[in-house]
Structure 1
Amino acid sequence: MSTNFSEEEPTIIQEPRLWRDERWTARVIKNEDDDGWAVAMTLAGETEPALVGPWTMGRDKKNPKPLDAPAFHTLVKTASEVLRRHEQQLHAQLHKSLKLDTPAGRLQVLLDIVPDDDNPYALLTARDEAGEQIAQVRVAAGFRLNEASAAAWVENEFQRPRS
């Protein structure tokens, strides 16, 4: 029986300047901007911290306060919220939607940007009130979806808009 060591379980660590659970690592680091300390929260598998914030000085006013369970749990909650907000912001940038009243009924027009490094593009989609797709075309990633551009697309019988 062979063991695959590339998928090892993360080691749980609870030290004064380093705490780690299955998902998060909190590391107390010297603040580069001043004499104080900071804490960096990094999600497992990531190279960059999701959150870096100030950390409290210890009683000697020279060394950092040691990490403990309540502080770690608060940091995990805060870092998770930062990631969630970042994902929501990215989703909002890549997916836009508006409703448009037309003679044929109300349509939902969606713009979904595909952020490909070499060839980014977007899909412009029209759905009827039942949610059925009635048209879809590929457009430039920089296409601006607004009421006027959506109305022009519908009036042009869903032909691909010119760039």
Structure 2
Amino acid sequence: MTDSSPAVDPDFPADDPAAEAEAEVIQEPRLWRKDGWTARVIKNEDDDGWAVEMIKDGEPEPALVGPWTMGRDKKNPKPLDTGAFNTLVKTASEVLRRHEQQLRALLHKRVSVQTGEGDVDVTLDIVPDEYEPYALLGAFDVFGEKLAEARVAPNFKLTKARAEAWAEGGFGRIE
């Protein structure tokens, strides 16, 4: 007697809707979904042409919206294909990566100062909490060991002079 039950893949739980949606591949002329991304060809609201939007799974807004090529009939959009989809995924991923880098640059500052004990890196990491934002000021030696940490206001301005003053004061409380 043979077992007719379907094989169970431990990496793909059958009762997990998110896993099912992630595994769902759609390849239609105006809609592609694959590898965590959805490309949708839409009517361009600004003119008579077409646009394509790239949405990362789980995100409410598109990561990328751009013009899309007209088809041969000069009326309908060119259908999506593997090459175009892969290029769109690469471009949208790069947009998200740059956005994350910009956000990191806004939320993280670093200044190096010299003290009697050697070089010290002073960092400021802003924690953008919706209700109570704050920042953490940290001091690290040349080996990356934390020397001190202090909680400061999220609008604290980290300058070389302030970092030096904090170090000279023995990394005490910051006002």
TM-score band by shorter chain is over 0.9
The alignment status of 1:6 with 2:17, answered yes or no, reads yes
Spell out the pairing of 1:79-98 with structure 2 (5 A cutoff): 79-98=92-111
Moved runs in structure 1, 4+ residues, more than 6 A? none
- TM-score, with structure 2 as normaliser: 0.87
The alignment status of 1:53 with 2:66, answered yes or no, reads yes
RMSD: 1.5
The number of equivalent residue pairs is 161
CA distance in 2, matches of 1:47, 1:68: 24
Spell out the pairing of 1:141-152 with structure 2 (5 A cutoff): 141-152=154-165
Q: Is the 8 A contact 2:14 2:20 kept in 1?
A: no
Q: Is the 8 A contact 1:9 1:22 kept in 2?
A: no
**2:133 matched residue in structure 1:** 120
Give the drift of 1:25. Answer: 0.4
Residue 99 to residue 5, structure 1, CA distance change in 2 (3 Å) = closer
Q: Percent identity?
A: 64
Spell out the pairing of 1:91-110 with structure 2 (5 A cutoff): 91-110=104-123
Q: Flag structure 2 segments of 5+ consecutive residues without an equivalent.
A: 1-12
Residue 19 to residue 3, structure 1, CA distance change in 2 (3 Å) = closer
1:112 maps to a residue whose letter is: D
Query: Secondary structure in 2 aligned to 1:9?
Result: helix
Q: Flag structure 1 segments of 5+ consecutive residues without an equivalent.
A: none
CA distance in 2, matches of 1:3, 1:58: 40
- TM-score, with structure 1 as normaliser: 0.93
Deviations along 1:71-117, one digit per CA (max 9) or x if unpaired, are: 00100110111111111111111111121112221101011111100
